[in-house]
Structure 1
């Protein structure tokens, strides 16, 4: 159970050995599947009431894992999504970019900037951008090691 940001989340993970049970084209590619059931209670700030939300997600894997290891792998995936893709989309405005010619170049530049900030111990990129906007000299404080 996790209790953060006005939410309580309960998860259950079940794993299934599917080797030899799929179409022969999949034989050897997928050996295990998992079902992750999430039950989340979300607190509504205006009323103080808790509303229930649930979802079931299915995952497949090429190696056998315990349910606990599968749960860790799923959480690790969302860590990448939240620390990288979400930051690039929201803080750096990547989804609103109008660059149509070679957008990959600018994507790499954004990733490079994030890597420099992370290497310098920045945990909140939005705050770092704001502080740099107020004091451009702060930009030179970010140096590689």
Structure 2
């Protein structure tokens, strides 16, 4: 899976960041083993927002041995998020591989931007528009519906609707208002 992803990224050019998932057992284990040593750099930040306190520790490591086969891999990044949410303590750790060779502070920004995109686009399409539960069988049909969902989010945001849930509730029975938004 990573080789296919890296091949597509290499063809597209530019820097990239891929979050590793535990279901890719071998790849995840190799990168996790890489984080047993001393990191090349560390960034430790604490943030207080919306009644939460979140601590993020970003550690940057050299790539694993298979790096020679895939020179596009510049670093392995481990991000540990911990804090208190709704009165409950939590700790989450994520692993990433990236083409970048920046230090931990810069890679922390890149990871945050990755999650910004994930939260603003992918989560809205998955959770609110139920994109993953669609019964579309063809790749072309799924691609078209995904494009329509993305355009819908863009149009709403262009018109000042930052909460797709609130917009859906407000516009559900207001066909004229919905059409006027689409005309802009």
**Superposition TM-score, scaled by structure 1 size:** 0.79
Alpha-carbon distance change, 144 to 14 in structure 1, aligned in 2, over 3 angstroms: farther
Can you list the C-alpha shifts for 1:68-110, whole angstroms capped at 9, x where unaligned?
1101111111111111111112222223322324222211111
Q: Which has the larger radius of gyration?
A: 1
Q: Which runs of 5+ in 2 are unaligned?
A: 1-45
2:137 aligned residue (87, 90, 100):
100
Unaligned runs of at least 5 residues, structure 1: 45-50
1:98 partner SS = coil
Across the two proteins, how many residue pairs are aligned to each other? 136
Q: 1:111 aligns with which of 147, 150, 153?
A: 150
Tell me the CA shift for residue 6 of structure 1.
Answer: 4.8
Cα deviation for residue 52 of structure 1 reads: 2.6
Greater share of residues in helix: 2
User: What's the RMSD between the two structures over aligned residues?
Assistant: 2.2
TM-score by length of 2: 0.64
- After TM superposition, what 4+ stretches of structure 1 lie above 4 angstroms from structure 2? none
